[in-house]
C-alpha cells in the first residue's frame, strides 16, 4: 500500500525520449564541472549562453530563469525540430541543470519564457573533442516495442486479476474459508505485479489496498486487507463479519477491480514510467513486504514480495534492449542482482508458494533486505541511463 | 556569566571564566569570503526565569536530549517536591553550574553532580518541562484542571506508534549546543527524580532542523532539504500570541496562560528508498528546490510559494507536495513553531538506518493548530511514502517562572 499522489507520479513522467539521443536533468553536473558548464540565462526577451560552442561528450547547461515567467530551455538538432534535451517548468529565479550527451554537429538552443511559441533561438555548435561521445541510437521502433509490450502486460495482469479476484471472492462469500485463504495470495499476485500502476489511480488504491493502520478516523476500511483480517482473525477481540457484510465488502472489491481493469485498457506508458515503476516496485518490497506489515494477518508477504519482484523484472526485461545499448554494464549489474534476489526468495519456497512470513527469522529477513538494496540501487540509475 | 555565590563547572576545574564566553562580538554578519550568513553571536547561557519557559522561542540549539517520565507515586506532595527540586537543579545547570552548587560531599558519598559536564560551558542549555494528559487522572487531584485540548493525540492515518516511544506523565526537553551538556541535564534530573518518577523513554537529536529566529540559517533534515523555512520565529510576536502561547481566556488559561503545548512526533524516514529517488521526484514531493530551498514556483528560499502558477502539466508546486499541504493557506491560516531535531539511532534489525526527524512543535491549542494539519499530511502528503510516525506525545508546558524561588508548575499546584 502506498499513497503516492497521482500528481507527483504524473510530474515524474515528463521526460521525453528523443529517438537518437535523450536527456536527463540533474542539479549535480556529472561531467563538465567548473568551466565546462554552460550557464544559460533566460529572461523575458533574452536567452544568453556563456558560450555557443562545446566539445562533444557530456554537455551541461545550467539554466537560470532570470525572468518573471515560467521558462523552458531546449536543445534541438540542426533541423530545429528534433529535441535533443529539454528542461521544463523552471520557475522564476530557479536554476536547473540539463545534461545531454552530444555528438559533434550543429544544434539550436531555445529559451521559452512563458512556455510558448518558438522561443528565443540561437545556433549552437558541438565540436569534435576526439572523445567518442558513446551515443548509440535506439530507434523509435525499439522504444515503441518496449512501451507497447509493457502496456499489454499491465492490461493482461489487470484482466486476469478480475477473474482471480472473482474466484477468491466467490469462495469467501460462500463461506469456503479454506479455499478463500488458498486463493488470497494467488489473486493478490496480479495486483502486486502492477502495483505502481494501480497506485497511480489515487482514488482506487485506498479503497482496495489500505492497511488497517493507514485508516484515518471515521474512514471505512474496505478492500483486500479488510477481508484478509476476516479470514485470518486475531485470536481474541474480533467479531467475524456477517454473510451480509462479507457480500458488501466482496462486491465493493470486485467493482473497484473492474474499474481498474477498465482504466488500464487504454493505458499509454513512457519509457521512464516503466523504469521508475520498476524501481517503485522494489521500494514497495523494501518498505512494506520485508517488514511483514503488508499481510499482517495472513503472513503471505512472500507471495506479494515475489509478485513485486516479478513486475519489476518484467519492466526491466522490456527495457533491456534500450539499456544494453545505453549502458551495458548497468544492465549486467541489474540482471545479476535480480538473480541473487530470486535465489534468496527461492530459499523460502514451499509447495507452489512460500512459507508463512512469521516463520522467516530476522537474519533471513536481513538477507532478503540486503538483496533488495543490492538490486534497487542500480535499478534506480536505470531511468537516467536510458534517457541520457 | 555565573553568579558570584555559585561555583561554575569551569571554575571548579580552574578554567578562566572569561575564556568560557564564546564568540561574544555582537550582531550577525558575514564571514570573509563566504556568502553564508554567520549565526548571531550566541548568548552563552539562557536564564531559567522568564515570562515563558526557555527552549521554545530561544534560538534553536544544535543538540537535543528529550525525556519522558512517568510518576511512580500517588503522592501529590512528592510530585510538588520533585518539580521544586527539578527547577532548582535546572537553574544551576543552565548557568553552567554543577548540580548542588558544587557543595562538598563526603568522600564516602556519591557526588551530587554526576560530573560529565565539569569544565564545559553552559552551552546555551535550556530545560523545558511539560505535563502530560495522563498526569490529570485521579492520582493528584488534577482531573478538574485538565484543559480540554490536553488529551492524547488521535490516531493519524499510517501511524505506527511504539508505546515504548510514546506519551508520558511528564517530559523534559533539554537543548544545548553540546550534546554532553544536554545528556548531563537529563541524567541528573532523572537521578533527582528516582522514587517519584521513572524515565519512560528518551530521544537524542543530533542536529536541529528548525530555526526559531530570523538570524539563524535554515538547517537541513535527513532528506537533504532545508526544513522549517516558513517556521514561526521569535520576532513574530503577534503570530506567536495567535498560534503558540496559551492566552488567559483559553481553556486552562488560569494556570497555563503564557505556556504552550508541546507536540512530539518521532518520524522515521525510509532513508534507503529516498536515496534511490530521482531529484525530480524529491523536489516534486517537497515542493521546493533542494539546493536553495526555493519554492518550485520560483524565487529564493524565503519567497512565498505561488500555488497557482502553472507549468506544463499543472501547478509548478504539485498538489500533493509537502509545502502546499503544510502551508497556512491550506490550513486555515495556522502557522507552526517547530523545534525539531534529526536523529539516527543506529540501525534496525534489517540493517537499515533507524533515522529521521524528531518533530517538536509548540502550539497554543493542539486541537486547532496541530491535529487538522497532521491529519491532512498523514493522508495526502506524498512524502508519507517515505515517512513513518513511530512515537508521539503531547504535554502542556506551563508558563515561565518569574521569581528567583519559583518553580515550574507552581500555577497549577498552588
CB pairs under 8 A between A and B: 146
Residues above pLDDT 90, as percent of chain A: 73
pLDDT at B19: 36
Closest C-alpha to B284, from B326, B323, B230: B323
Rounded alpha-carbon distances, angstroms, from residue B211 to B229, B231, B361: 8, 7, 12
Q: Which cell numbers in the block locate residue A237?
A: 477481540
Say if residue A102 is in the same domain as residue A148: no
B-proximal residues of A, 193-222, CB under 8 Å: 213-217, 219
- Residue A133 is assigned to a structural domain of this protein: no
CATH number for the domain spanning A79: value is 2.60.40.420
pLDDT at A3: 39
Say if residue A86 is in the same domain as residue A220: no
Q: How far is Cα B255 from Cα A362, in angstroms, rounded to an integer?
A: 50
Say if residue A106 is in the same domain as residue A232: no
Q: Does A5 touch chain B (CB under 8 A)?
A: yes
CB-nearest partner of B284 from A8, A287, A290: A8
Residue B279: its chain A contacts at CB < 8 A? 25-28
Evaluate if residue B137 carries a pLDDT over 70: yes
pLDDT at B170: 98
- Residue A14 is assigned to a structural domain of this protein: no
Q: Name residues whose C-beta falls within 8 Å of residue B123's C-beta, 6 or more positions apart in sequence.
A: B61, B96, B176, B177, B178, B181, B182
Residue A291: its chain B contacts at CB < 8 A? 350
Q: Work out the number of other CB atoms within 10 angstroms of the CB of residue A144.
A: 11
Q: Name residues whose C-beta falls within 8 Å of residue A189's C-beta, 6 or more positions apart in sequence.
A: A303, A304, A306, A307, A310
Q: For chain B, what is the total number of helices (H) and then of strands (E)?
A: 11, 12
Say if residue A63 is in the same domain as residue A158: no
Stretch B14-30: mean pLDDT: 36
Residue A72 near residue A90, CB atoms below 8 Å: yes
Q: Which of A89, A210, A385, A388 is most worth mutating to test chain B (most B CB atoms within 10 A of its CB)?
A: A89
Evaluate if residue A108 carries a pLDDT over 70: yes
Nearest CA in chain A to B288: A94
pLDDT at A193: 96
- Residue A59 is assigned to a structural domain of this protein: yes
Nearest CA in chain A to B293: A94
Q: For B123-241, where are the E strands, in sequence order?
A: 126-131, 170-176, 197-205, 207-208
Flag if A14 and B284 touch (Cβ within 8 Å): no
Q: For the segment B236-254, what is each residue's pLDDT rounded down to a tens digit? A: 999 999 999 999 999 999 9
Q: How far is Cα A53 from Cα A32, in angstroms, rounded to an integer?
A: 14
Phi-psi region at A69: left, alpha or beta (left = phi > 0; alpha = psi -120 to 50): beta
Of the listed ranges A212-226, A300-314, B360-374, the least confidently predicted one is A212-226
Task: Give B24's pLDDT tier (boundaries 50, 70, 90).
Answer: very low
Q: How far is Cα A262 from Cα B88, in angstroms, rounded to an integer?
A: 70
- Residue A104 is assigned to a structural domain of this protein: yes
Say if residue A119 is in the same domain as residue A201: no
Stretch B255-277: mean pLDDT: 97
Q: How far is Cα A134 from Cα A35, in angstroms, rounded to an integer?
A: 22
Residue A275: its chain B contacts at CB < 8 A? none
Among the candidates A93, A127, A161, a domain finishes at A127
Q: How far is Cα B226 from Cα B289, in angstroms, rounded to an integer?
A: 9
Flag if A283 and B276 touch (Cβ within 8 Å): yes
Q: Does B29 touch chain A (CB under 8 A)?
A: no
Q: Does B375 touch chain A (CB under 8 A)?
A: yes
Q: Work out the number of other CB atoms within 10 angstroms of the CB of residue B211.
A: 23
Say if residue A42 is in the same domain as residue A168: no
At CB < 8 A and 24+ separation, what contacts does A142-150 make? A142/A321, A142/A322, A143/A17, A143/A19, A143/A271, A143/A322, A145/A321, A146/A271, A146/A274, A146/A318, A146/A319, A146/A321, A146/A322, A147/A268, A147/A269, A147/A270, A147/A271, A147/A274, A149/A318, A150/A269, A150/A274, A150/A314, A150/A315, A150/A318
Say if residue A237 is in the same domain as residue A119: no
Nearest CA in chain B to A381: B276
Among the candidates A97, A127, A157, a domain finishes at A127
CB-nearest partner of B156 from A10, A28, A216: A216
Flag if B319 and A287 touch (Cβ within 8 Å): no
Of the listed ranges A235-244, B91-100, B226-235, the least confidently predicted one is B226-235
Q: Name residues whose C-beta falls within 8 Å of residue B139's C-beta, 6 or more positions apart in sequence.
A: B71, B74, B76
- Mean pLDDT value across chain B: 90
Flag if B380 and A92 touch (Cβ within 8 Å): no
How many domains would you assign to chain A? 2
Task: Give B371's pLDDT tier (boundaries 50, 70, 90).
Answer: very high
Residues above pLDDT 90, as percent of chain B: 82
Q: Does A276 touch chain B (CB under 8 A)?
A: yes
Say if residue A46 is in the same domain as residue A79: yes
Alpha helices in A215-242 (DSSP H): 224-231
pLDDT at B253: 97
Q: Which of B153, B285, B297, B298 is most worth mutating to test chain A (most A CB atoms within 10 A of its CB)?
A: B298
Residue A54 near residue A126, CB atoms below 8 Å: yes
Q: Does B372 touch chain A (CB under 8 A)?
A: no
- Chain centroid to Cα B94, Å, comes to 16
Phi-psi region at A128: left, alpha or beta (left = phi > 0; alpha = psi -120 to 50): beta
Q: For B31-158, where are the E strands, in sequence order?
A: 63-71, 126-131
> How close does chain B come to A234, measured CA to CA in Å?
18
Q: Does B300 touch chain A (CB under 8 A)?
A: yes
Q: Which of B163, B294, B321, B350 is most worth mutating to test chain A (most A CB atoms within 10 A of its CB)?
A: B350
Closest C-alpha to B338, from B99, B35, B98, B64: B64
Q: How far is Cα A74 from Cα A119, in angstroms, rounded to an integer?
A: 9
Flag if A25 and B280 touch (Cβ within 8 Å): yes
Q: Does A44 touch chain B (CB under 8 A)?
A: no
Q: How far is Cα A338 from Cα A329, in angstroms, rounded to an integer?
A: 14
Q: Which cell numbers in the block locate residue B62?
A: 544544535
- Residue A132 is assigned to a structural domain of this protein: no
Q: Name residues whose C-beta falls within 8 Å of residue A154's C-beta, 6 or more positions apart in sequence.
A: A194, A197, A264, A267, A269
Question: What domain range is A181 assigned to?
Answer: 140-387
Evaluate if residue A13 carries a pLDDT over 50: no
Q: Does B153 touch chain A (CB under 8 A)?
A: no
CB-nearest partner of B382 from A5, A25, A219: A5
Q: What are phi and psi of A150, to 5 degrees?
A: -70, -40
Flag if B278 and A219 touch (Cβ within 8 Å): no
Q: Work out the number of other CB atoms within 10 angstroms of the CB of residue A182.
A: 14
Q: Does A59 touch chain B (CB under 8 A)?
A: no
Say if residue A154 is in the same domain as residue A112: no
Helices A362-379 and A271-287: crossing angle in degrees, nearest 10, is 160
Flag if A94 and B296 touch (Cβ within 8 Å): yes
Q: Which of B276, B288, B297, B388 is most worth mutating to test chain A (most A CB atoms within 10 A of its CB)?
A: B276
- Name the one residue in this structure whose C-alpha cell is 530545429: A80
Residue A92: its chain B contacts at CB < 8 A? 297-299
Q: Does B380 touch chain A (CB under 8 A)?
A: yes
pLDDT at A100: 87
Closest C-alpha to A282, from B279, B278, B223, B276: B276
CB-nearest partner of A94 from B294, B310, B321: B294
Q: For the segment A109-162, what is each residue's pLDDT rounded down to a tens digit? A: 999 999 989 999 999 999 998 876 555 667 888 889 999 999 999 999 999 999
Nearest CA in chain B to A369: B350
pLDDT at B10: 58
Flag if B276 and A70 touch (Cβ within 8 Å): no
Q: How far is Cα A358 from Cα A362, in angstroms, rounded to an integer?
A: 10
Nearest CA in chain A to B351: A366
Stretch B380-393: mean pLDDT: 95
Evaluate if residue A362 carries a pLDDT over 50: yes
The three-state DSSP-derived secondary structure of A263-329 is HHCCCCCCHHHHHHHHHHHHHHHHHCHHHCCCCCCCCCHHHHHHHHHHHHHHHHHHHHHHHHHHCHH
Flag if A93 and B290 touch (Cβ within 8 Å): no
CATH number for the domain spanning A229: value is 1.20.1420.20
Nearest CA in chain B to A116: B312
Closest C-alpha to A205, from B272, B385, B386: B385
Task: Give B388's pLDDT tier (boundaries 50, 70, 90).
Answer: very high
Evaluate if residue A337 carries a pLDDT over 50: yes
Say if residue A108 is in the same domain as residue A147: no
Flag if A25 and B279 touch (Cβ within 8 Å): yes
Residue B351: its chain A contacts at CB < 8 A? 366, 369-370
Q: Does A380 touch chain B (CB under 8 A)?
A: yes
Say if residue A116 is in the same domain as residue A164: no
Evaluate if residue A5 carries a pLDDT over 50: no
Task: Give A34's pLDDT tier (boundaries 50, 70, 90).
Answer: very low
- Name the one residue in this structure whose C-alpha cell is 569534435: A128
Q: For the segment A228-239, what is each residue's pLDDT rounded down to a tens digit? A: 999 999 999 999
CB-nearest partner of A70 from B157, B311, B349: B311
Q: What are phi and psi of A54, to 5 degrees?
A: -150, 150
pLDDT at B22: 36
Flag if A214 and B278 touch (Cβ within 8 Å): no
A-proximal residues of B, 263-292, CB under 8 Å: 270, 272-273, 276-281, 284-285, 289-292
> How close does chain A come to B273, measured CA to CA in Å?
6
Nearest CA in chain A to B274: A283
Residue A272: its chain B contacts at CB < 8 A? none
Among the candidates A99, A127, A155, a domain finishes at A127
Of the listed ranges A7-16, A319-328, B84-93, B298-307, the least confidently predicted one is A7-16
Collapsing DSSP states into helix, strand and coil, what is residue B25? coil
Say if residue A301 is in the same domain as residue A374: yes
Flag if A380 and B313 touch (Cβ within 8 Å): no
Amino acid at each position: 500500500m502506498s499513497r503516492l499522489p497521482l500528481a507527483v507520479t504524473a510530474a515524474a513522467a515528463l521526460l521525453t525520449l528523443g529517438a537518437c539521443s535523450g536527456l536527463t536533468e540533474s542539479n549535480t553536473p556529472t561531467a563538465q564541472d567548473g568551466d565546462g558548464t554552460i550557464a544559460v540565462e533566460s529572461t523575458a526577451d533574452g536567452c544568453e549562453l556563456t558560450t555557443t560552442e562545446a566539445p562533444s561528450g557530456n554537455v551541461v547547461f545550467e539554466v537560470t530563469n532570470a525572468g518573471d515567467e515560467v521558462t523552458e530551455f531546449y536543445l534541438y538538432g540542426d533541423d530545429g525540430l528534433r529535441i535533443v534535451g529539454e528542461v521544463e517548468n523552471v520557475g522564476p529565479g530557479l536554476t536547473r541543470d540539463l545534461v545531454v550527451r552530444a555528438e559533434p554537429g550543429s544544434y539550436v538552443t531555445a529559451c521559452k519564457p512563458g512556455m510558448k511559441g518558438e522561443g528565443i533561438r540561437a545556433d549552437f555548435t558541438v565540436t569534435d573533442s576526439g572523445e567518442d561521445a558513446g551515443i548509440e541510437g535506439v530507434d523509435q521502433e525499439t522504444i515503441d516495442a518496449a512501451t507497447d509490450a509493457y502496456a499489454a502486460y499491465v492490461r493482461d495482469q489487470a484482466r486476469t486479476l478480475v477473474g482471480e479476484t472473482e474466484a477468491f471472492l466467490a469462495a469467501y462469500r460462500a463461506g469456503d474459508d479454506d479455499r478463500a485463504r488458498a486463493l488470497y495470495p494467488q489473486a493478490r499476485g496480479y495486483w502486486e505485479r502492477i502495483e505502481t500502476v494501480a497506485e497511480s489511480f489515487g482514488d482506487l488504491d485506498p479503497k482496495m489496498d489500505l492497511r488497517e493502520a493507514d485508516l484515518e478516523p471515521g474512514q471505512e476500511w474496505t478492500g483486500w486487507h479488510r477481508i484478509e483480517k476476516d479470514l485470518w482473525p486475531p485470536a481474541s477481540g474480533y467479531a467475524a463479519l456477517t454473510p451480509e457484510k462479507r457480500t458488501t465488502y466482496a462486491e465493493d472489491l470486485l467493482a473497484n477491480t473492474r474499474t481498474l481493469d477498465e482504466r488500464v485498457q487504454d493505458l499509454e506508458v513512457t519509457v521512464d514510467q516503466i523504469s521508475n515503476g520498476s524501481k517503485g516496485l522494489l521500494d514497495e518490497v523494501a518498505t512494506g513486504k520485508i517488514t511483514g506489515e503488508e499481510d499482517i494477518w495472513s503472513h503471505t508477504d512472500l507471495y506479494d514480495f515475489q509478485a513485486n519482484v516479478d513486475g519489476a523484472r518484467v519492466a526491466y526485461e522490456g527495457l533491456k534492449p534500450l539499456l544494453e545499448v545505453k549502458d551495458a554494464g548497468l544492465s549486467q549489474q541489474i540482471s545479476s542482482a535480480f538473480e541473487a534476489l530470486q535465489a534468496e526468495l527461492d530459499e523460502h519456497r514451499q509447495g507452489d508458494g512460500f512459507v508463512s512470513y512469521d516463520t522467516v527469522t530476522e537474519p533471513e529477513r536481513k538477507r532478503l533486505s540486503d538483496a533488495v538494496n543490492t538490486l534497487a540501487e542500480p535499478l534506480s540509475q536505470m531511468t537516467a541511463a536510458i534517457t541520457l | 556569566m555565573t553568579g558570584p555565590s555559585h561555583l561554575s563547572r569551569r571554575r571548579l576545574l580552574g578554567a578562566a571564566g572569561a575564556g568560557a564566553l564564546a564568540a561574544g562580538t555582537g550582531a550577525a554578519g558575514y564571514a570573509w569570503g563566504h556568502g553564508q550568513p554567520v549565526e548571531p553571536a550566541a548568548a552563552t547561557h539562557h536564564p531559567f526565569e522568564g515570562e515563558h519557559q526557555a527552549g521554545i522561542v530561544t534560538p534553536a540549539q544544535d543538540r537535543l536530549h528529550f525525556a519522558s517520565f512517568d510518576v511512580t507515586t500517588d503522592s501529590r506532595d512528592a510530585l510538588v517536591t520533585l518539580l521544586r527540586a527539578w527547577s532548582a537543579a535546572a537553574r544551576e545547570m543552565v548557568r553552567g553550574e554543577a548540580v548542588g552548587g558544587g557543595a562538598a560531599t563526603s568522600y564516602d558519598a556519591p557526588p551530587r553532580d554526576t560530573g560529565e559536564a565539569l569544565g564545559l560551558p553552559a552551552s546555551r542549555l535550556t530545560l523545558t518541562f511539560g505535563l502530560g494528559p495522563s498526569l490529570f487522572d485521579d492520582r493528584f487531584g488534577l482531573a478538574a484542571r485538565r484543559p480540554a485540548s490536553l488529551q492524547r493525540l488521535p490516531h493519524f492515518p499510517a501511524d505506527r506508534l511504539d508505546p515504548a516511544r510514546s506519551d508520558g506523565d511528564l517530559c523534559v526537553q533539554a537543548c544545548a549546543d553540546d550534546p554532553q551538556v544536554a545528556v548531563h541535564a537529563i541524567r541528573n534530573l532523572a537521578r533527582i527524580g528516582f522514587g517519584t518518577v521513572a524515565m519512560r523513554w528518551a530521544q537524542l537529536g543530533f542536529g536541529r532542523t528548525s530555526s526559531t529566529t530570523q538570524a539563524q540559517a535554515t538547517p537541513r533534515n535527513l532528506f537533504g532539504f532545508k526544513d522549517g523555512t516558513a517556521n514561526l520565529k521569535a520576532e513574530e510576536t503577534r503570530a506567536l500570541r495567535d498560534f503558540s502561547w496559551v492566552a488567559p481566556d483559553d481553556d486552562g488559561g488560569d494556570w497555563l496562560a503564557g505556556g504552550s503545548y508541546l507536540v512530539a512526533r518521532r518520524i522515521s524516514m525510509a532513508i534507503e528508498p529516498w536515496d534511490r529517488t530521482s531529484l525530480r521526484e524529491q523536489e516534486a514531493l517537497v515542493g521546493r528546490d533542494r539546493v536553495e530551498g526555493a519554492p518550485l514556483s520560483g524565487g529564493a528560499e524565503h519567497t512565498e510559494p505561488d500555488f497557482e502558477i502553472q507549468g506544463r502539466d499543472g501547478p509548478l508546486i504539485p498538489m500533493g507536495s509537502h509545502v502546499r499541504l503544510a502551508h497556512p493557506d491550506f490550513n486555515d491560516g495556522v502557522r507552526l513553531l517547530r523545534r525539531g531535531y534529526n536523529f539516527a539511532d543506529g540501525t534496525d534489525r534489517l540493517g537499515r538506518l533507524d533515522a529521521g526527524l524528531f518533530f517538536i512543535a509548540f502550539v497554543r491549542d493542539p486541537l486547532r493548530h496541530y491535529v487538522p494539519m497532521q491529519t491532512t499530511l498523514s493522508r495526502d502528503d506524498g512524502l508519507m511514502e517515505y515517512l513513518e510516525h513511530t512515537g508521539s506525545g503531547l504535554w502542556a508546558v506551563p508558563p515561565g517562572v518569574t521569581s528567583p524561588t519559583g518553580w515550574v508548575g507552581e500555577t497549577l499546584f498552588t
